[in-house]
Each structure stands twice: as C-alpha cells, then as structure tokens.
Chain A
C-alpha cells in the first residue's frame, strides 16, 4: 500500500474531472431533490413539512392516474417491442446479403437517433383534425367528420404507443440481433437437420439463449416509459382528460406551468427515481435467479 502512495494521488487526478462533473450535475441535484421534497408551499413560500409531500402523493388522483397510464403504456408497448423486435432481429439474422443486413439495420435504427421533439411535432401535425392521417381516416370513414385521432382516449393512447414502438424498436432489434448472433450456430443447424420447424427452433433454441437480453429489453423500455415526456407533452398534452398523463409531465406542470410547487414536484421526481430503481432491481434479481438455474 505504501509503495503506491506517491503515484496514487497523481493517478486519481485523471478521474477527478469526471467525478467533479458527475457530482455537480447529477449527485448534488439528486441530494438537493431529496431536500426540496421535504418542503411544502406554493410559489415563493417554503415551509418544512417532512414527509408530508409523499403522503399527499399517495392520495393524489392525478399522480395515481399518471402512474396508471404508465402501466397501461407498459402493457401495450413492451410486448409490441418484444415481439416486433424479435421477429425483425430473427429475419435480419436470416438474411443472406450482408449489404442488405447493414442497410436495414441502419434504417431501423434511424428513428432512435432522431430528435423526439422533431418526430413528435411531425406526428402531431399529421394527426391533428386537418392533418394527413386524420383526413385519410375520414376518407376511409374510420373516423367521423368532426373528430381526430387524438381526441378520444383510446386513439390517443394507441397513437403514443405506436410512436414509441416506432422510435424504440430499432434500438432493441439491434440488441436482440447481437444476442442471436451469439447463439451457438451448430445447435440451430443440427436441429434443422433433425427436421425441426423454424418456429420450433426459434422457441426451443433461440429464445432460451436470448432470455437475459429479453429481460434487459423489458426493463430498459419500461424505464423509458416511466420517463415518457416529450411525446405526450407535444402531441396530446396529457389529454384528452388525463388519459395520457405521465409522471414526468405532471412533474413539469406542477413546477413550471401551474403555481409552482417545487417541493411537491421534487417529491414526484424522487418517486420516479424509486420506481425506476425498483424495476432495475427486479432485473438484477431475475438475472441472478437465471444464472443460478443454469
């Protein structure tokens, strides 16, 4: 230990800038959020109320329905991404031409790198009453003359889910494809020679092997759903009613749109943090259980 003394401090200097920036931009605000969440009051008035904000949250209908909406989105979006992503990844993996493979991977990935603000605005424009999609649906008599895609709860939820599936699936497809690439190819070939059908090979050989990646996909996409903000803020503004409200949107409104309640909004932020932490813990436990089994 003593031997390392003269150099250790010098070596830690390399890490110092990163630690400093992370502390200032992430850890200090996190602790400050805990601190703020203990204060109540509106506007400039601040008073210490201990855990009062958290108690209030538990009986706040808006907050509970925003959590409920996140769960609804989770139930729609996560299976869609899993199924769609798996199918795409499998088909991509099966493709012979490598140029085509590359081209399609890039094409599928592009929505993930596009700015959420830009595509949300685009989808908002085309689904508004005089937008392209709404007019097309009216021509096909799927929608009635006065309505639009987003002024009924089911339509708005489906639209937001569809946009999320569109923008996120590419990312998960590539992760899943990388996982399928790692599956032992000779096992698949052997099964093929033994006469197993594609569906059976997929179910019995590929799926068990990519199981950890599937769980990771579930967890990552669920985390993103709890943080969903840009899409709902720009397209539906949480409406109609509260049918697409999410926690992040509620937090933003509580702090910056209505009479500001920074303490209460921080408490919402902390709740989001714990929900996400809980989801991640579930993933880690699952992974460990899985490792023990094998």
Chain B
C-alpha cells in the first residue's frame, strides 16, 4: 500500500518536471546571455542584470511591440464578439421550436469538424478578391470561435430553466430583456469560459493569420514569431525573453479564469 502511494507520487512528481521543464528552461534563458546559453554555462551566467538588459532590448524592438498590441486588440475584440454572438445564438436556439433548434445546432456543430487546413486556400482567395487582406476585420473574423462557444452554451442549457422564461414572460418581459438580464446572468460561468477559450484560440491562431496578413504593421504575435523563426539566429537570450513575454497574456488569462471559477479546469473541455 505504502509502496503504491510512493510510486504514484513519484510518478506525478516526475511528470510535473516533464511538463514544467521547458518553461523553467525558458525562464533561465531570460536571465542569461547569448554566450552563456551557447557556451553551455547557462547556470553559471544567471543574473538579474542580464534579465534587465534582455528586457530593455526586447522593448526597443518596435516590431514586437506592434505585434503584441495587434494581438491584444484582435484577441480581445474576437473574444467579446464570440461571447455576444454565440450567447445570442444559444439563447435563440433555446426558445425556437425544437425541430428548428435541432437542425440549426447541427449546422453549427458540423462546422467544428471542418479542418482549418481545408479553409486556408479559399479564405485567402476570397479575401484577396474582396480586397480584405491586411485588414483588422479579416483577422478578427477568422479568429472567432463561434461554433464551439455556441455548442458550449447549448451543452449547459440546463442552467437556464424554461420556467424562468415563462415567469418572465408573464411579467411582460421581451425576449431581448430575458436574454440580457436573465439568460446572461444564469450563464455567467459559461460566459467566462467562453471568453477564455476564444481569447486563447485567437491569440494562438497561426495558419490563418499568416496567410491573411503580409504587412509588418498588421503582424500579430504568432506571425511575428513565425517571421523571426527563419531569420533570427543571433541572440538566444533575447529570443527566449520574447517567447516568455508572448506567453504571459495567455497564461494570465487562463490562470485568472481558474481563480474566478471554482470548477475543475476540465470544465473548459466539456
């Protein structure tokens, strides 16, 4: 019995090292210099001064700042828009006739099965023909994750009972009033999850943005990282600092949501 527990705990400990190791290494690299990393003396060269100089070098990089700003802008707008549109749709689905709602939900959910790779070429062609390349509106519209979000809202329909609608109706509330004040309130946990997921997926999106954006002023962080991957070989320490900084918003959004919601992170996935 004791051996078993010991085995399990050491397995968990080793696995957590496996999962955390890349992050730790990345962090250490931020505190080191290029020469230190390449010369295999990573741990000997750690110092806060190096970190500060890496940081100031990174922030002197105008392209990085622009890309960071663009990513923040696109992801925030995309996640708010996703929340609004998908909650409206899910509310609509819960009040229309059952046959309609089943059919429309099937249409929405089926779009989840279509791989991004299939859509890359036609989206590019359409955007090119409509003169929509290098525009915020294009970036935002491909970053929306409405199908998944709508599905999430519909899955959790039970939080919002039909009695609530009935009693609100008797009190003379309009459909939109019910949506805004009752539905959104009953679904506040799902709202947070939907916001988090859509923020994460649009921040991390890579394939679509890369083909839809060609000018540097419009680069998002993923495209920027992709572009330096082919040319950058000078300074590891600064690269690692850039990587760490680009990961911070995603991690903070994720952890913030964790704090606000007592549910298991597995909840994100259902």
Question: A-side interface residues toward B, CB under 8 Å?
Answer: 4, 8, 10-15, 17-19, 21-22, 24-30, 32-33, 36, 84, 87-88, 91-92, 94-95, 102, 104-111, 113-126, 130, 132, 135-136, 139, 166, 170-171, 174-175, 177-178, 198, 223, 226-227, 229-230, 234, 247-248, 251-252, 255-256, 262, 265-266, 268-270, 272-273, 276-277, 280
Bound-complex Cα distance A29 to B113 (A): 14
Residue contact A18 to B207, C-beta cutoff 8 Å: no
A52 to B105, CA, bound (A): 35
Complex contact B19–A277 (CB within 8 A): no
Name 20 interchain pairs, CB-CB below 8 A, sorted by A.
Answer: A10-B175, A12-B92, A14-B92, A15-B92, A19-B108, A28-B122, A29-B123, A33-B122, A105-B265, A105-B266, A113-B204, A116-B204, A121-B225, A121-B229, A122-B243, A123-B22, A132-B42, A270-B118, A272-B115, A276-B115
CB distance from B81 to the nearest CB of A (A): 9
- Interface stretch, picked from B4-12, B48-56, B186-194, is B4-12
**Contact at A272–B118, with CB atoms within 8 Å?**
yes
B265/A106 in contact, CB under 8 A: yes
A11, A17, A33, A198: the one contacting B96 at CB < 8 Å is A11
A30 vs B86: C-alpha distance when bound (angstroms): 21
Q: How far is the CA of A12 from the CA of B96 in the complex (A)?
A: 7
Q: State whether A118 and B247 are in contact (beta carbons under 8 Å apart), knowing that A14-B179, A126-B25, A280-B113 are contacts in the complex.
A: yes
Contact present for B251 and A110 (CB under 8 Å):
yes
The closest CB in chain B to the CB of A268 belongs to: B117
CA A22 – CA B85 in complex, angstroms? 11
Interface centre among B15, B108, B175, B251 (most CB of A within 10 A): B15
| C-alpha spacing A223/B113, complex, angstroms | 9
The minimal Cβ–Cβ distance linking B129 to chain A, given in whole angstroms, is 10
Q: Quote the shortest CB–CB distance from A137 to chain B (angstroms).
A: 12
Within 8 A of A (CB), among B213-270: 221-222, 225-226, 228-229, 236, 239-240, 243, 246-247, 250-251, 254-255, 258, 264-266, 268-270
Checking A15, A25, A125, A277 against B104 with a beta-carbon cut-off of 8 angstroms, the contacting residue is A15
List of B residues within 8 angstroms of A17 by Cβ: 85, 88-89
The answer to whether B93 touches A15, judged by C-beta atoms less than 8 angstroms apart, is yes
Report the minimum CB–CB distance from A42 to chain B (whole Å).
Answer: 14
Given A94-B8, A166-B22, A273-B114, 17 more contacts at CB 8 Å? A10-B175, A12-B100, A15-B93, A21-B146, A29-B119, A29-B123, A88-B11, A104-B12, A108-B15, A117-B221, A121-B225, A121-B228, A122-B243, A132-B37, A255-B121, A268-B117, A270-B118
Q: Does B161 contact A (CB under 8 A)?
A: no
Contact status A198-B4, CB under 8 Å: yes
Q: Which residues of A contact B85 (CB under 8 A)?
A: 17-18, 21
Instruction: Name the contact of B250 in the complex, choosing from A27, A84, A106, A113 (C-beta under 8 A).
Output: A113
> Which residues of the other chain, B, contact A88 by a CB distance below 8 angstroms?
11-12, 15
* Number of chain B residues whose Cβ lies closer than 8 Å to a Cβ of chain A: 85
Q: Are B8 and A175 in contact (CB under 8 A)?
A: no
Query: In the complex, A30 Cα to B114 Cα: how many Å?
Result: 8
Contact of A32 among B9, B22, B122, B266 (CB under 8 A): B122
Q: Are B22 and A25 in contact (CB under 8 A)?
A: no
B58 → chain A, closest Cβ, in Å?
14
Give Cα distance in the complex from A226 to B118, angstroms: 12
CB closest residue in chain B, given A265:
B121
Identify which of B22, B26, B118, B251 gathers the most chain A CB atoms within 10 Å of its CB.
B118
Evaluate contact between B175 and A262: CB separation under 8 angstroms. no
Residues in B neighbouring A229, C-beta threshold 8 A = 117, 206-207
**Contact call A30/B119, Cβ cutoff below 8 A:** yes
* Contact indicator B12/A95 (Cβ below 8 Å): yes
The one of B116, B121, B225 in contact with A266, judged by C-beta atoms closer than 8 angstroms, is B121
Contact of A11 among B5, B175, B254 (CB under 8 A): B175
Would B95 and A22 count as touching, CB distance under 8 A?
A: no
Taking a contact as CB atoms under 8 Å apart, the answer to whether B254 and A113 are in contact is yes
CA distance A83 to B15 in the complex (A): 13
A258–B9 Cα distance when bound, in Å, is 51
Q: How far is the CB of B90 from chain A (nearest CB, A)?
A: 8
Given A12-B96, A21-B144, A118-B243, the answer on whether A226 and B115 have CB atoms closer than 8 Å is yes
Q: Which residues from A are CB-within-8-Å of B200? A: 113
Chain B nearest Cβ from A234, distance in angstroms: 5
Write out, one digit per residue, whether chain B residues 138-166 have a CB within 8 A of any chain A CB (1) or not (0): 00011010110010000000000000000
Q: Contact between B121 and A166 (Cβ–Cβ < 8 Å)?
A: no
Nearest chain B CB to A188's CB is how many angstroms away? Answer: 14
Once the chains bind, are A111 and B19 in contact (CB under 8 Å)? yes
B20 interfacial by beta-carbon distance below 8 Å: yes
